[in-house]
Structure 1
């Protein structure tokens, strides 16, 4: 269990609240129990991390859990120990663009997964510049907050199904969120830079750590921001899963429909 907790910690999953699927943790603990000290190598760790993210973003632990657990325990071990074919959880995993747009709350495993990925890959707080995972370690209040504030979006005719999507959210401290308030990004970025003495160049670096396009944010261009970040998040998911996403016709049509509705 300690080995499983350590692996999840490296992926910036610190508590039960952050855990996308509890049954997947059960499998991970069982795998470590079988492998013992043999698991303490980088290649095995990399395989387990890839399997883990495929389970999260493929949302494969949302149904038929007992059969998934049984298959993963045997298939993942066989894949690790003998180089056998990839487990079904990796083969079957896919994540469609329209699913990303429709992630609204922490109840979704993929929503929690994206939050953890942004922490894992170095997302920094807008105000302090500290990496968010450092702030979480010191028990500062961190949560998922809107990038384009909800009240600003309402005033500017942005639909809730867009601005409440995870595409328009990122992990930030409560202190930073108070600075954001209901202001346009161009206004709150200026206030943050002035308050904290942050240069524009450094602020742009911080924004990019959340895969946010600084130009779109500074010009209050929600459409350009949304489209660029959606693509960037999908690329981040592909990297975590170690495979290309299958973009079927329906997924692309749904994405275009959301963009058209915004116009």
Structure 2
């Protein structure tokens, strides 16, 4: 059985709205013939916005899709956005020219289904000008298979070029010529040809159309669409809204990312950078403000990109030098960088007092988890807070955050991709940890730069806790993690703390307190561990971490 190319059905959310939390008109599902959809593209009724990627399917994927249609297999649905919004769109598809769209007329922008509809357009409407074209396609009636041809010459009669399907007279003239073969299977070939024709004429797919929704309402729907496993985002959508011969938003953001890559921060999300460009252009951080970029000239957009690029460069330098964050992998929350960049956009040279304030703001918002739920209201208030700070109306960047206390370190588990795990790693790095068994300095560079958690190990060994009936979740809480060399961790294995810590105490001697402090382990936590009292150890270790937090936040 042939397999069709991966194509996910379009996903829509009727709750997305333009007014009062409801769409002005519900998404409209229809069932359409593929030939008609292809024709609508060529007539300019369905447009491919500039955010759509170039055709990327390999030849075998094209054949797989055609085979799926011939066998009446489902190939997924298509998502359209019917709107009067003016977006820059492609003028060609599958080497075919798209007709000019009437000005002001509502059009349907193709949000999902580009590769499939491009394939159908190319297969059915190929103009036959280049032998090596991927659209030089035929169907072998005997083999019951599609194939690519490499010549403009007519193929054997039992092979029919697919672009004849749109011209019934030419197609059936070819079918009638099959009788000249004089072969015993002529009747079967004719039947196969008629079945193929009917399949492509009658094959239908589901089409969902979003009606007259704003960019702000379409954006969250758009961001859920997958194409080749890569989510399309509002960045791609806004590229189409702002594109001109002089300005390409994708290229502009890529230029900023390339600059940041030299500083090891090239992985900062494009959407975060887009928020900053919006602010630099006089708007805000939210999706509604981002939509305002369409109103600016290419010169104004280029100026906003330039100031954003400079701001991000300074913000990254600050994170590297002042916060000891070596790469984007260790940033607790990406949207912290958006606000941080706005600070450095508005203030070219920060005073020592301002630098100290920004450091406190960073640690407070990180530990409090403020950016874990950054909504439109927060975006607006944070932008105002930065402006007040930049104009010296305030001496601190005011965000509504609260000290979570020591409990956060016993409530959350250690996972490399979570914010508080990254924060614990940064806190330990700040303390310049020493190995518990050898008192040697631990190189935190690799762990921070690569986001590598292999150097982090359980203080109370996991297997030991399991033997005592402690649940895995409790064994993996943040307060139970320290940095150890692989050799020391191997020596500890699954021994009880009361066992291996005697060895530690003996070997370290007068250096014990220093080593414990560098690992954010209080004397009380150490004594609890010496008694194998895990609950008390967690409480006391959490207090030690919280103390380190207080020194950075001013809480």
State TM-score, norm by structure 2: 0.39
1:50 aligns with 2:360: yes
CA distance in 1, matches of 2:390, 2:484: 37
Post-superposition shift, 1:217?
A: 3.0
Change (3 A) 1:124 1:76: farther
Partner of 1:121: 431
1:63 aligns with 2:373: yes
Contact 2:343–2:390 under 8 Å retained in 1: no
CA distance in 2, matches of 1:32, 1:45: 11
Quick one: higher RCO (CA 8 Å, sep 6+), 1 or 2?
1
3-state SS, counterpart of residue 12 of structure 1: coil
Change (3 A) 1:103 1:138: closer
TM-superposition CA deviations, 1:28-86 (whole Å, max 9, x none): 123112211x22x3211111111111111121111234543443233134225414274
CA distance in 1, matches of 2:445, 2:373: 34
Number of aligned residue pairs? 237
Partner of 1:93: 402
1:25 aligns with 2:337: yes
Partner of 2:518: 209
Post-superposition shift, 1:132?
A: 4.4
Q: Which runs of 5+ in 1 are unaligned?
A: 244-263
3-state SS, counterpart of residue 347 of structure 2: helix
Partner of 2:477: 165
CA distance in 1, matches of 2:491, 2:324: 25
Change (3 A) 1:144 1:68: farther
3-state SS, counterpart of residue 484 of structure 2: strand
CA distance in 2, matches of 1:60, 1:199: 40
Q: Which runs of 5+ in 2 are unaligned?
A: 1-311
CA distance in 2, matches of 1:96, 1:133: 26
Contact 2:439–2:515 under 8 Å retained in 1: no
Partner of 1:130: 441
Contact 2:410–2:539 under 8 Å retained in 1: no
In the alignment, which of 100, 103, 120 is matched to residue 412 of structure 2?
103
3-state SS, counterpart of residue 62 of structure 1: helix
In the alignment, which of 302, 315, 336 is matched to residue 4 of structure 1?
315
Larger Rg, first or second structure (1 or 2): 2
CA distance in 2, matches of 1:135, 1:204: 26
State TM-score, norm by structure 1: 0.76
CA distance in 1, matches of 2:379, 2:433: 32
